[in-house]
Amino acid sequence: MKRYKIIHLDDHKLITDSIRDYLLRNLQDVYYIGFNDSWEAFRYLVNSIEKNEPIDMFITDYAHTGLDGYQFSKAIRQLEGLLNRDPIKILLLTMYGDTLPAIKRGLNDKTFNWYLSLNSNPTELIDCVKSGLIARW
């Protein structure tokens, strides 16, 4: 059975630790890597894309140091295009309602595949991740 790789970026360790624990308790065959530093996450993703190593889902917050979640994800999309790689599925998971214009823009231009509020029901996160891992582009 396939093991799914999920990369998660949030500058709050409590969030990445909690999401990791929740996903690993509720999903099978998941390999989770959490980052609290956007530059470390960016280097990891760029390296993986360059080597054509599969990443099944990238979960990101909107607000973190360096590039915001939209700019960060847009840069990943540009690199995928330049290197002719399959796009990584991206879930924006954030509590910032004031970022709605960027969220709408990111969903419309397919920078993000999904958006969930951190205030969502935890089962919504599991449902979104499950559907995302099995979905085809």
User: Would residue 21 count as lying in a domain?
Assistant: no
Do the domain assignments include residue 57? Answer: yes
Which of 45, 33, 122, 36 is CA-nearest to residue 76?
45
End-to-end CA distance of the chain: 21
Task: Residue 115: give its domain's CATH number.
Answer: 3.40.50.2300
Scan for tokens 């607000």, then name that residue: 63
Task: Give the C-alpha separation, 9 to 45, whole Å.
Answer: 11
Domain-embedded: residue 19: no
Tell me which residue range forms the domain holding 110.
4-14+27-134
Say if 22 falls within a structural domain.
Answer: no
How many domains does the structure of the chain reveal? 1
Task: Give the strand order in the sheet containing 89-94.
Answer: 30-35, 4-9, 57-60, 89-94, 114-117
**CA dist., res. 24 & res. 30, Å (int):** 7
Decide if 87 is inside a domain: yes
pLDDT in tens, the chain (137 residues): 778 999 999 999 999 999 999 999 999 899 999 999 999 999 999 999 999 999 999 999 998 888 889 999 999 999 999 999 999 999 999 887 656 788 888 999 999 999 998 888 889 999 999 998 887 54
